Amino acid sequence: MRCDRIWRNARLATLAPDQPGLGIIESGLIAACDRRILYAGPEAEAPAFDAPERTNCEERWITPGLIDCHTHLVYGANRAHEFELRLAGASYEEIARAGGGILSTMAATRAASEAELVESALLRLDALLAEGLTTIEVKSGYGLARDAEMRQLRAARQLAAHRRVEVTTSFLGAHALPPEAGGDKDAYIGLICDKMLPAIAEAGLADAVDAFCESIAFSPAQTALVFEAAGRLGLPVKLHADQFSNLHGAALAARYGALSADHLEYTDEAGAAAMAGAGTVAVLLPGAFYFTRETRKPPVEAFRKHGTRMALATDCNPGSSPLTSLLLAMNFGATLFRLTVEECLAGVTREAARALGRFDSIGTLQAGKFCDLAIWDIERPAELVYGMGFNPLHARVWRGE
Ligand SMILES: [Zn+2]
């Protein structure tokens, strides 16, 4: 059988949902044709492939390429100085008075050109790619005005022209209230629904719509208005939910059939059950938990009990999670939230794909999906979760190359 390339003598963690655990195949073979997987299975049962390129993996492990399903990768400047002030004892109010916080990132993002936003985001993207990343979600939310939000989303889309990676984008206009709104959250939500979102949908700049539902951001009622506007435009929704308090954001997200609800430290069992019923993925963000020194953990036991699917992501952002490593996100997920190795690995592959609505095309090693692979110099998959700051990637394959 004709194909473009095969990888043989490999150990596969397929993550196939119909297989137990990681879906392991010892002595596996993957064949790729036209960017997609033609075969992933035991070498002994593989058809005789006629491939111009044949790679002997020498018993290395192959997983699906990693997927970071929640990032704020594109932004202006960083907040290292704020971090420095906080370590020196400055209070939140003192930092806010010195111009810190999310509005400082807004100002720097508004001041940056699209090319500058792309250039700085590429540095962070390269760190993720070096660990086998093949798909990344990038949110807006630092422009907080139509043109600046659109520039941020265009910069995110541009990343895929500079690197071999799939980029999905989420419009997060409802991230924070910009100063020109004069404290009027309802009016700003109206602007998002009536002006910003239709323009962004028309330009094809967003694959999903996200919001931050929290007392310091937007209420459940305001979030629902954004979700309804997204629904009218045929865009799926996601939500930053229950991060600092329980506003029942998880249940709200489930009610709107959200792809995911993210953070979830304060989600209750009813929220976990509602998400399971709606197929809304719980995206856990242990980098933000770690960096903000949060102590309340997401209800992992309730997610397991109700069968809520769990993904893991970096939440890469300048304020609360300056993390550019999915390997470290897995280690944090295991050490801080007590996730198992299987949950961590599924969380950055199969379940992350579901959280992006991309499960039919990526996230597992199965025939018909895109041939996105990470090939690792490890003896067992647990090493990917166990290491801290160690990168055992041997090779990254995106769309069969
Ligand atoms: Zn976030």
pLDDT of residue 400: 97
Residue 92 has pLDDT above 90, yes or no: no
User: φ and ψ at 256, to 5 degrees?
Assistant: -100, 15
Strand stretches in 254-335, DSSP E:
260-263, 281-284, 310-312
Calculate how far, in angstroms, residue 175's C-alpha sits from the geometric centre of ligand 1.
9
Calculate how far, in angstroms, residue 386's C-alpha sits from the geometric centre of ligand 1.
25
Over residues 104-115, the pLDDT tens digits come to 999 999 999 999
Q: What is the mean pLDDT of the chain?
A: 97
Calculate how far, in angstroms, residue 112's C-alpha sits from the geometric centre of ligand 1.
21
Calculate how far, in angstroms, residue 11's C-alpha sits from the geometric centre of ligand 1.
34
pLDDT of residue 95: 80
The confidence band for 91, taking pLDDT boundaries of 50, 70 and 90, is: confident
Nearest to 236 by CA among 262, 256, 221: 256
User: φ and ψ at 217, to 5 degrees?
Assistant: -125, -105
Over residues 177-208, the pLDDT tens digits come to 999 999 999 999 999 999 999 999 999 999 99
Calculate how far, in angstroms, residue 260's C-alpha sits from the geometric centre of ligand 1.
12
Calculate how far, in angstroms, residue 283's C-alpha sits from the geometric centre of ligand 1.
10
Residue 96 has pLDDT above 80, yes or no: no
pLDDT of residue 100: 79
pLDDT of residue 93: 76
Calculate how far, in angstroms, residue 70's C-alpha sits from the geometric centre of ligand 1.
6
Instruction: Please give all residues whose CB falls under 5 A of ion ligand 1, grouped by chain where several chains appear.
Output: 315
Calculate how far, in angstroms, residue 307's C-alpha sits from the geometric centre of ligand 1.
23
Calculate how far, in angstroms, residue 5's C-alpha sits from the geometric centre of ligand 1.
38
* Cα distance between residue 320 and residue 290, in whole Å: 9
Q: 356 is written with which tokens?
A: 């992006």
Task: Judge contact between 325 and 317, C-beta under 8 A.
Answer: no
Residue 348 has pLDDT above 90, yes or no: yes
Q: 385 is written with which tokens?
A: 């979760």
Give me the mean pLDDT over the 302-315 stretch: 98
Residue 338 has pLDDT above 90, yes or no: yes
Give me the mean pLDDT over the 230-235 stretch: 98
Nearest to 4 by CA among 37, 45, 40, 28: 37
Calculate how far, in angstroms, residue 228's C-alpha sits from the geometric centre of ligand 1.
21
Calculate how far, in angstroms, residue 244's C-alpha sits from the geometric centre of ligand 1.
13
Give me the mean pLDDT over the 338-365 stretch: 98
Calculate how far, in angstroms, residue 292's C-alpha sits from the geometric centre of ligand 1.
13
3-state helix, strand, coil in the chain (%, to 5): 40, 20, 40
The confidence band for 53, taking pLDDT boundaries of 50, 70 and 90, is: very high
Residue 97 has pLDDT above 80, yes or no: no
pLDDT of residue 306: 98
Calculate how far, in angstroms, residue 304's C-alpha sits from the geometric centre of ligand 1.
23
* Cα distance between residue 145 and residue 110, in whole Å: 9
Residue 98 has pLDDT above 80, yes or no: no
Calculate how far, in angstroms, residue 373's C-alpha sits from the geometric centre of ligand 1.
26
Calculate how far, in angstroms, residue 76's C-alpha sits from the geometric centre of ligand 1.
16
The confidence band for 277, taking pLDDT boundaries of 50, 70 and 90, is: very high
Calculate how far, in angstroms, residue 315's C-alpha sits from the geometric centre of ligand 1.
5
pLDDT of residue 52: 94
